Amino acid sequence: MERFQKLLKDPHQYAKEWKTKTGGKVLGYFCHYFPEELVYAAGVLPVRILSQPDTEGISERYMYGTFCPNSLGIMAQGLKGNYDYLDGMAHAECCMYMRGAVANWWDKIPISYKYYVAMPSQLDNPWAKTFLQAEISAFKKDLEEWTGSTITEKALDHAIEVYNTSRSLMRQVYELRRADNPLVSGAEAFEMILSSQIMDKEEHNKLLKDAIRKLSRRKETNNTGPRLMLLGSEISDTKLVRLVESMGATIVMDRLCSGSNYFWNTVIPQEDRCLAIAMRYVDKPRCPVKDSTYRRRVNDIVQLAIDYNVQGVIYATQKFCVPHQMDRPPIEKAFKQRLISIHNIEYDGTIPTGEYQTRIEAFIDMLKK
């Protein structure tokens, strides 16, 4: 696990070294709805831009302080020059706060290549897949112009295979968490997921295969405590997860944009590769922004809680995260109907350890009783 932890201690080092070693381009992206396979097929390294708390408040020169801490932290990363190694940046349509961060980054911080993928919001509409197919096809042409090389079907097939392998391996990791005595902690699983979003997937797959082989030989322990599920806003590190698990519980499942939502389903091969990729992103587990029509998300979350024998839920939202705060009431209702306790936390990007430790410990003690 130290290999994944090392990658996250400095999330920029790997991309810089990869760029020096290969001479290739690095492209930053923000949202889990972004079609990475296309970028990878172009020989470009896609790197997810992870937020860090804007403790100095420098992003508020350009964005309202009532924007979520995640978007403010991302803008601050750009203003500090932490992502100055990026050759380009692309964005897939998501929430209004992230759109604000992207627009301000593109306006205030020099970047040579920019592209916007219009990801449909109403994913249940019959035109969603064909619409996104057209968007991905247009993005493919633009990438070819930027890189000066053709994205072949062979390259797309290889990219799809690499990404599908990564997703299948992460599903295996989550299967290890389903056991009565999980062999993988929630923090360890998140280190695997987050590190996969900042490095070459093919190289990361090798680390995952080796880790899964070794983790399966771990000795089981009977001291895992209550089984928890983590829901809410995107997280960019493991501080909250580690705090919860240090209180004597185990996070066995999540439905976060930077967690299981990122890898849960695979691309089903089609003759038209752009359509295959589009179908994967339209059919993937929904975030609150994309779940406004038929509300599939609540049943999906409850079923996962049943499958993983969840005893309690931590619902952690960042301050001013409107999509997840609006999503909370129907989720709370669904869990209470099934007598599964839920504990709400709202934070501003930083984790006030003392206050949260007291609250989380009390929640876990209640579950134990």
pLDDT digits (tens, 9 = 90+) for 221-247: 666 789 999 999 988 889 999 999 999
pLDDT digits (tens, 9 = 90+) for 26-66: 999 999 999 999 999 999 999 999 998 888 999 999 998 88
Structure confidence at residue 125 as a pLDDT band (50, 70, 90): confident
Is the model's pLDDT at 274 over the cut of 70? yes
Is the model's pLDDT at 210 over the cut of 70? yes
- What single string gives the DSSP state of each residue in 120-132? -S-TTSTTHHHHH
**Highest mean pLDDT: which of 59-68, 174-183, 188-197?**
188-197
- pLDDT (0 to 100) of residue 224: 75
Rounded to an integer, what distance in angstroms lies between the CA atom of residue 14 and that of residue 157?
A: 25
138 Cβ contact partners less than 8 Å away, ≥ 6 residues apart: none
Rounded to an integer, what distance in angstroms lies between the CA atom of residue 318 and that of residue 349?
A: 6
Q: What are phi and psi of 111, to 5 degrees?
A: -150, 130
Q: Which two tokens stand for residue 143?
A: 């990438």
Rounded to an integer, what distance in angstroms lies between the CA atom of residue 132 and that of residue 137?
A: 8
Is the model more confident about 318 or about 161? Answer: 161
Picking from 337, 185, 333, the residue whose alpha carbon sits closest to that of residue 254 is 185
For 158, the enclosing helix (H) or strand (E) is: helix 153-178
Q: What are phi and psi of 213, to 5 degrees?
A: -60, -40
Is the model's pLDDT at 162 over the cut of 70? yes
Is the model's pLDDT at 279 over the cut of 70? yes
Q: What is the torsional sign of CA 333, 334, 339, 341? A: negative
DSSP state of 340: -
CB 276 within 8 A of CB 268: yes
Which of 162-176, 216-230, 314-328 bottoms out in mean pLDDT, i.e. has the lowest?
216-230
- pLDDT (0 to 100) of residue 221: 67
Structure confidence at residue 361 as a pLDDT band (50, 70, 90): very high
Is the model's pLDDT at 293 over the cut of 80? no
CATH 3.40.50.11890 corresponds to the domain 6-149: yes
Rounded to an integer, what distance in angstroms lies between the CA atom of residue 282 and that of residue 221?
A: 39
SS3 195: helix
Q: How far is CA 317 from the centre of its chain?
A: 15
SS3 330: helix
**Highest mean pLDDT: which of 88-102, 254-268, 287-301?**
254-268
pLDDT digits (tens, 9 = 90+) for 73-119: 999 999 999 999 999 999 998 888 898 999 999 999 989 999 999 99
Rounded to an integer, what distance in angstroms lies between the CA atom of residue 364 and that of residue 366?
A: 5
Picking from 32, 8, 28, the residue whose alpha carbon sits closest to that of residue 19 is 28
CB 250 within 8 A of CB 227: yes
- pLDDT (0 to 100) of residue 222: 66
- Average predicted confidence (pLDDT) for the chain: 92
Picking from 83, 82, 104, 92, the residue whose alpha carbon sits closest to that of residue 29 is 92
Q: How far is CA 199 from the centre of its chain?
A: 14
